Structure 1
Amino acid sequence: MDKQDELRRQRQALKEEMEAADKLGFQGADSAGLKGPTPLDGVGARLRDRSTSGPDLTMVMDIPVRLTLEVGGSDMPIRDLLQLHQGAIVELDRQAGEPLDVLVNGTLIARGEVVVIEDKLGIRLTEVVSQAERLQSLR
């Protein structure tokens, strides 16, 4: 709960900061002799200040996500599942040597192969799914 509370506090502080910036934008327009909001007031001012290089992702960089590597899967009836024991072998729907799927919060983002680095397992990405394909999988 601590992380969620901290994120809420940060979100509230950012909201207050943006509202204060909006008020300053409106006051600047009044002193310039302009009536009512102008396109550069409030949201317009924030849009103007954004760089064209891409969206500002600093607010989402600390949000935790779940990274999962999927080796394969298998469908089986509950009868067979209950008969599994130590040493049993379950056949998966993938061939040996096929790349693993890399999922973030359940969405496929890449494929890769298992590597060993100082007695720990890792994954070397061999293919990254394009942004268009990721968006398509969300639909």
Structure 2
Amino acid sequence: MPAFNETSAVLHSTALYTSAAQALAAMLPTATSLSAVLHTGPRQDWVASAAGAVLCATFVGEQSADVVLHVAERELGGISERRTARVGTEDLLRPALEAATGVLGIGVLSLESGENAQGTLSAADTVGFMLRTQSGEDAGFFALRLRETAPVSGPAPSLEEPEDMASRLGRISNVEMALTVQIGRTRLSVRDVLNLEPGAVIELDRSAGAPADVLLNGRLIAQGEVVVMDQDYGVRITKILDMDSAGA
């Protein structure tokens, strides 16, 4: 597996990668704080020597990327002993992955099987970081591979005829997208999640009667009122948000 160095085919300056790694390190749920240090040696032994889960994720948005994260079990401390089917390693580490990919802009993060780690780590344009304790011990690794949008070749685009636009819209009109209605949110500690029992009431951050959010592939696009339709829930759209408001 190639090592990262200054001649590797990276697509951006290391500043962007470093910002993502630092954001991730700040959100890791470890007993002691970890720092992200740019890795300049061979990476072939990372996955083989990793004791515990290796998480892979893809981020699709303004800037798409592949991500690999491993945190040593010992660094998770007491949290690892309390993991159950309700709260797994993925749940504990997802906020850190979201913080890292949040540096890349708006998008959707999806966790994948750790089997995909080797492909990302072996790519020449992947930039890696060692996660280290304050005493300098290795405590895991973080790798980020940015995926550029393919450049458009040929002459600059011109205004299209209505027929051309209609034919393009026709090709995508049957593509399905995930639409979600959200009535509120809250944050709970791992302790509170593990203590949940049937009958428990979770208070949300929205008052009764406030409009619900309508999200398309995780992005806010509208607001509406929750209604009941033939014993099923529905939502009556009351406001369509423009792109600037939705991204705010």
Asked if Structure 1 and Structure 2 have the same fold, meaning a TM-score greater than 0.5 normalized by the shorter chain, the answer is yes
**Given residue 233 of structure 2, which amino acid in structure 1 is its aligned partner?**
L
In structure 2, relative to structure 1, the CA distance for the partners of 1:48 and 1:131 (3 Å cut) is closer
2:192 corresponds to which residue? 80
> Which deviates the most, 85-94 or 124-133?
124-133
Tell me the CA shift for residue 47 of structure 1: 6.0
Larger strand proportion of the pair: 2
1:40 corresponds to which residue? none
Structure 1 residue runs without a partner (length 5+) = 1-42
2:161 corresponds to which residue? 50
| Structure possessing the higher relative contact order (Cα contacts under 8 Å, 6 or more residues apart) | 2
**Given residue 187 of structure 2, which amino acid in structure 1 is its aligned partner?**
D
Structure 2 residue runs without a partner (length 5+) = 1-153
Tell me the CA shift for residue 67 of structure 1: 0.3
Tell me the CA shift for residue 49 of structure 1: 6.4
- What's the C-alpha RMSD, in Å, of the aligned pairs? 2.8
2:211 corresponds to which residue? 99
Larger helix proportion of the pair: 1
**Given residue 87 of structure 1, which amino acid in structure 2 is its aligned partner?**
G
2:233 corresponds to which residue? 121
TM-score where L is the length of structure 1: 0.58
| Alpha-carbon distance in structure 1 between the residues aligned to 2:162 and 2:185 | 44
**Given residue 178 of structure 2, which amino acid in structure 1 is its aligned partner?**
R
Percent of pairs with identical residues? 36
Following superposition, which runs of at least 4 residues in structure 1 exceed 4 angstroms of deviation? 46-49
Tell me the CA shift for residue 79 of structure 1: 0.5
3-state SS of paired residue (2:193):
helix
**Given residue 85 of structure 1, which amino acid in structure 2 is its aligned partner?**
E
Give CA deviations for 1:55-112 in whole Å, capped at 9, x if unaligned.
Answer: 6411111111000001111111100110000000011111111100000000111000
| Alpha-carbon distance in structure 2 between the residues aligned to 1:75 and 1:48 | 47
TM-score where L is the length of structure 2: 0.34
Work out whether 1:69 is the aligned partner of 2:176.
Answer: no
3-state SS of paired residue (1:65):
coil
**Given residue 203 of structure 2, which amino acid in structure 1 is its aligned partner?**
E
1:133 corresponds to which residue? 245
